[in-house]
């Protein structure tokens, strides 16, 4: 009898309720090895790669490519690599599958699990006694109720909320039973590349040789003094076999017709969040023109010294971070009738991807140099465009920046990214005549617009923030000091 296992829609992040099977990377009935890429699962913001936890194969692929499925819903059936299950066995497994009892599964129409048999009831864990929690404990009301109900001792829980506050998720995690670890054969931890220690090859060539199974023995290197280099290894790598992929040509719809394209999960999430923001948050806008010639001078100096320089946006992120520290009433999130003020500036930077807009977060930007911010933004932007962002890298944040200057947009107003209280829109730099010291001169001007949530930020507070931000940008020595 085959050892069949469920392959259900995974859950990444607290708010995830459904996912889209973007691609099956292994065909049904084809064996795979532990660590092989099995599927690409697309959520509201990112595309996750699901790797095999053990050797096996797909006895049946249930989910269709591009289909949307609830968290916990069965999307495939796994079997051992040497198993040969019959269609009846697989049908029986699918019919008997029940999703985990979650809100998402309930919405999917999952039937409640059957009551335990008497023998199983005897083995059930004993009922936990209700816990008593001190009235002054740093714990949220929902977490307190759960801890008292489940009998969880909160003395050993390190709170993940603001100022170490114990959250509902902290208690929920602490209430789970400890997972048993062990079993299986011993694993050899000796690095695979050690067998190449006697080969005169570059480190990169060795890694490629191990990755592609290339034998370096007797290979004549083309590098200095006969050293085997990257090109030598790649010359022996066999190209992957498979059908040729041709780029998809754009077909113009016939006159009087229109192509209908279904929204991706990310596009639906953007539409829902921004529609809610624009309709429920009372926006007001503060606009200012800022000279950036001093920043351009600093960039030129950095490029001459190192060959590269941070972008103008990197300097603006740093300026916003310092201004937010000086004006904590702008460094906020709004949750119902509560305003959450933050001690550090966690700035979300809008990045355009082929699937929509996403805002990865530069954490603690007030503690980072402009160069460090530049490196962090580049890393986050690359991960955003390839769908590699983790939930903690784009969820939260206390402030947002959207820069369309590189597209030649002079000025625009941005929609607030809830629950944040403000977002800064940045336009392109243009040469304009200005009065400087009772004389007419030309300067590079950037138009900025600060969108504020009037429920939490008053006009005078926002205006004071903009004034500080402008002084920091026009005197950027303060940014690198």
**Catalytic residue numbers, as ranges:** 454
Residues ≥6 apart with Cβ < 8 Å to 82: none
Alpha carbons 330 and 255: distance in angstroms, whole number: 50
Please give the C-alpha separations between residue 319 and each of 6, 420, 465, 476, in angstroms, as whole numbers: 51, 18, 11, 8
The H or E element spanning position 350 is none
Among 196, 224, 198, 223, CA closest to 210: 196
Q: Which ranges in 138-202 belong to alpha helices (H)? A: 141-150, 168-174
Whether the Cβ atoms of residue 397 and residue 420 lie closer than 8 Å to each other:
yes
Residue from 353, 339, 310, 332 nearest 416 by CA: 332
Tokens of 303: 């490029």
Q: What separation in angstroms does the CA of 197 have from each of 207, 212, 221, 379, 478?
A: 12, 17, 16, 33, 51
- Within 13 Å of residue 272, how many CA atoms lie on the same side as its CB? 8
Helix (H/G/I), strand (E/B), else coil: 237? coil
The answer to whether 351 and 381 have CB atoms below 8 angstroms apart is yes
| Rounded Cα distance, 144 and 137, in Å | 9
Phi and psi (nearest 5°) for 325? -65, -35
- Residue with tokens 């950036």, as numbered in its chain: 292
List own/partner pairs for 381-384 with CB under 8 A and 24 or more apart. Answer: 381/349, 381/351, 384/351, 384/353, 384/358, 384/360
Tokens of 233: 């290894």
Query: Which residues face 262 on adjacent strands?
Result: none
Sequence-ordered list of residues with C-beta below 8 angstroms from that of 100, at least 6 positions apart, any chain: 8, 72
């Amino acid at each position: 009898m085959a050892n069949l296992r469920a392959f259900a829609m995974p859950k990444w992040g607290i708010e995830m309720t459904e996912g889209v099977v973007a691609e099956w990377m292994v065909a049904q009935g084809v064996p795979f090895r532990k660590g092989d890429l099995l599927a690409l699962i697309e959520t509201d913001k990112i595309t996750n790669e699901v790797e095999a936890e053990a050797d096996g194969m797909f006895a049946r692929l249930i989910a269709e490519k591009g289909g949307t499925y609830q968290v916990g819903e069965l999307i495939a059936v796994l079997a051992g690599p040497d198993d040969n299950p019959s269609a009846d066995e697989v049908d029986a497994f699918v019919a008997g599958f029940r999703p985990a009892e979650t809100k998402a599964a309930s919405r999917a129409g999952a039937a409640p699990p059957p009551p335990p048999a008497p023998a199983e009831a005897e083995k059930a864990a004993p009922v936990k006694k209700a816990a008593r929690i001190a009235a002054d404990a740093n714990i949220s009301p929902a977490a307190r109720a759960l801890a008292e109900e489940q009998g969880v001792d909160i003395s050993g829980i390190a709170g993940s909320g603001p100022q170490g506050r114990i959250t509902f998720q902290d208690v929920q995690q602490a209430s789970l039973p400890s997972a048993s670890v062990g079993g299986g054969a011993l694993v050899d931890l000796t690095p695979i590349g050690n067998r190449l220690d006697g080969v005169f090859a570059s480190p990169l060539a060795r890694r490629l040789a191990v990755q592609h199974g290339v034998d370096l023995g007797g290979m004549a290197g083309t590098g200095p003094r006969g050293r085997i280099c990257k090109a030598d290894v790649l010359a022996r790598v066999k190209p992957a076999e498979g059908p040729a992929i041709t780029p998809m040509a754009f077909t113009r719809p016939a006159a009087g017709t229109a192509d209908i394209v279904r929204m991706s999960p990310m596009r639906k999430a953007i539409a829902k969040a921004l529609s809610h923001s624009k309709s429920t948050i009372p926006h007001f806008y503060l606009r200012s023109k800022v000279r950036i010639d001093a920043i351009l001078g600093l960039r030129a100096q950095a490029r001459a010294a190192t060959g590269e320089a941070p972008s103008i946006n990197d300097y603006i992120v740093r300026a916003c971070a310092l201004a937010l520290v000086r004006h904590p009433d702008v460094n906020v999130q709004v949750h119902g009738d509560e305003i959450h003020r933050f001690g550090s500036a966690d700035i979300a930077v809008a990045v355009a991807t082929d699937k929509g807009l996403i805002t990865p977060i530069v954490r603690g930007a007030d503690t980072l140099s402009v160069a460090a911010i530049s490196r962090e933004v580049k890393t986050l932007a690359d991960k955003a465009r390839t769908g590699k962002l983790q939930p903690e890298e784009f969820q939260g944040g206390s402030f947002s920046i959207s820069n369309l200057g590189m597209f030649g947009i002079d000025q625009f107003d941005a929609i607030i990214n809830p629950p944040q209280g403000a977002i800064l829109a940045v336009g392109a730099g243009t040469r304009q005549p200005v009065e400087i010291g009772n004389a007419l001169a030309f300067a590079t001007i950037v138009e900025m617009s600060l969108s504020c949530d009037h429920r939490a930020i008053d006009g005078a507070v926002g205006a004071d923030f903009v004034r500080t931000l402008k002084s920091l940008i026009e005197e950027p020595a303060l940014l690198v000091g």
